[in-house]
Amino acid sequence: MFEQVTIDWQGRATSASVPPALAGAGVDLPEPVVRATERAAAAVRRAGDRLPQAWEPLARLLLRSEGVASSAVEEVRAPVEEVAAAEVLPDAGGPSAWVADNLSVVADAVGTARRSPLTVETVLRWHARLMRHATDGASPGLAGRFRDRPVWVGGRGPLDAAYVAPPHALVPELMDDLVGFANGETLDVVTQAAVLHAQFESIHPFADGNGRIGRALIGWLLVRRLDVPVPPPFSVYVARDPGGYLSGLAFYQLGEVPRWVQWFAATLERSASTALSLAAGVESLMDEWRARAGRQGRTLRRGATPGKLIDLLPEHPLVSASLVADRFGVTPEAGRQAIHQLASLGILEPLSLPSGGPGRPVHWWAARELLDLVAETA
């Protein structure tokens, strides 16, 4: 059970919640919940088998879906084409840059899972990257550092809040315990992911960005323990069922861990199905693009630049002649010709973006149909 401790808030005493340590803790689940965790793990593995690690472009597209949805949970929204632009424009700002930063964190979490155990320093690095473009004033000077103030959920302050997180002095100790739990394997992976996320949200170690970092931890653990190329877009269903999500966290904080795990497992299973649907949709769209070329009497050979560009679009749905030239080792003119060939087929459309500084403006082209698939998923 969570311990209640007294804190001072503007001269008045109130209570804060301190979660129990996870080290050595077990979770007793009833049989239906155990079956739900098994189904969820199997669904994630199936989705992973459908996405071989060699197909990084589609993995990147799934990560983009997760990043967009995870930001939407926190009411940070931007058109998906602007997010794609923020990934390639160094001077991008505003909500699109915030979402792009979130995508970078999700991608970093996946890469880290394949290389090394989790550390506190890794989590701090993710937070620094996540908050790079945050300008809402919620956490000045705290990007990449634990909070130095009380935080709460609901209400105008700790006195009338639905939940008050542990005193900030306890955060380093609680995070050390959480990282140790994340690197262990005493629980099945779905239960471990559910507890890891809920514990992180209960600690609320940062002044802002806790939800997005907490969901990145889910992806980190699934990739690490299930050896899948990319985690399913779990945040899509958090965004669709915020009430169920918040209720589940409340059950966890009340000690009703099985109820939270059951909601988590069901949501994870649905998100794995979404990953499979998105993969099938992308494959179908790319097949249709090639068929479209055939109907016009053209052949998009995979070894030629236009054919290779189609394979690149799931990873880079926004391209320029210089990007194509750099990626495939061809001249900018050859890059432009490939882009114009796909544009003539309706695969690419011109997109107006800021020039990004002095000099000749860069002309960008977007795979609109592909971006629409991501937007529909997220």
> Which of 130-134, 165-169, 184-188, 309-313 is predicted with the least confidence, judged by mean pLDDT?
130-134
- Calpha distance 83→66 (Å, rounded): 12
Q: Taking the CA of residue 28 as centre, how many other CA atoms within 13 Å lie in the half-sphere pointing to its CB?
A: 1
In the chain, where the domains are located = 3-277, 280-377
Q: Please state, as a whole number, how many other Cβ atoms lie within 10 Å of the Cβ of residue 138.
A: 13
- Give the pLDDT of residue 94: 59
pLDDT digits 0-9 by tens, 319-334:
889 989 999 999 999 9
3-277, CATH topology level: Fic-like fold (1.10.3290)
DSSP, collapsed to helix, strand or coil, labels residue 138 as: coil
242: left (phi over 0), alpha (psi -120 to 50) or beta: alpha
pLDDT band (50, 70, 90) for residue 317: confident
Q: Supply angle C-alpha 241, 261, 39, rounded to 5.
A: 90
- State pTM to two decimals: 0.84
C-alpha 112 chain-centroid distance:
14
pLDDT score recorded for residue 48 = 83
Produce one character per residue of 172-185: b if its CB has 16 or more CB atoms within 10 Å, e if not: eebbebbbebbeee
Question: Cα–Cα distance between 259 and 28 in angstroms, integer?
Answer: 11
Query: 220 vs 104, 122, 155, 372, CA distance in Å?
Result: 13, 11, 32, 27
| pLDDT tens string 281-314 | 888 898 899 888 887 767 677 678 988 898 888 8
What are φ and ψ of residue 283, in 5° steps? Answer: -60, -45
pLDDT at 248: 96
**Residue that wins the pLDDT comparison between 45 and 95:** 45
List the CATH code of the domain at 280-377.
1.10.10.10
Phi, psi angle pair for 25, to nearest 5°: -80, 145
Average pLDDT over residues 189-218: 95
- Residue 45 CB partners (closer than 8 Å, separation 6+): 226, 228
Mean predicted lDDT score pLDDT of the chain: 85
pLDDT digits (tens, 9 = 90+) for 231-242: 888 887 888 888
23 DSSP 8-state letter = T
Q: Which pLDDT score is estimated for 373?
A: 80
Task: Give me the half-sphere count of Cα atoms (radius 13 Å) on the Cβ side of residue 307.
Answer: 10
Q: Which tokens is 378 given?
A: 């997220």
Contacts of 103 (CB under 8 A, 6+ apart): 63, 64, 66, 67, 68, 83, 87
The angle subtended at Cα 356 by Cα 350 and Cα 357, nearest 5°, is 135
- Which residue do the tokens 């550390």 mark? 119
CB-based burial, 120-137: b 16+ in 10 Å, e otherwise? eebbbebbbbbbebbeee
pLDDT tens, residue by residue, 142-177: 889 999 999 999 888 999 999 999 999 999 999 999
Q: How confident is the model at residue 22 (pLDDT cuts 50, 70, 90)?
A: very high
Q: What is the pLDDT of residues 213-264, one digit of tens each?
A: 999 999 999 999 999 888 888 887 888 888 999 999 999 999 999 999 999 9
The predicted pLDDT at position 54 comes to 40
Mean pLDDT lowest for which of 75-89, 137-151, 210-224, 360-374?
75-89
Q: Does residue 50 surpass a pLDDT of 80?
A: no
Least confident of 3-17, 104-118, 127-141, 169-183: 127-141
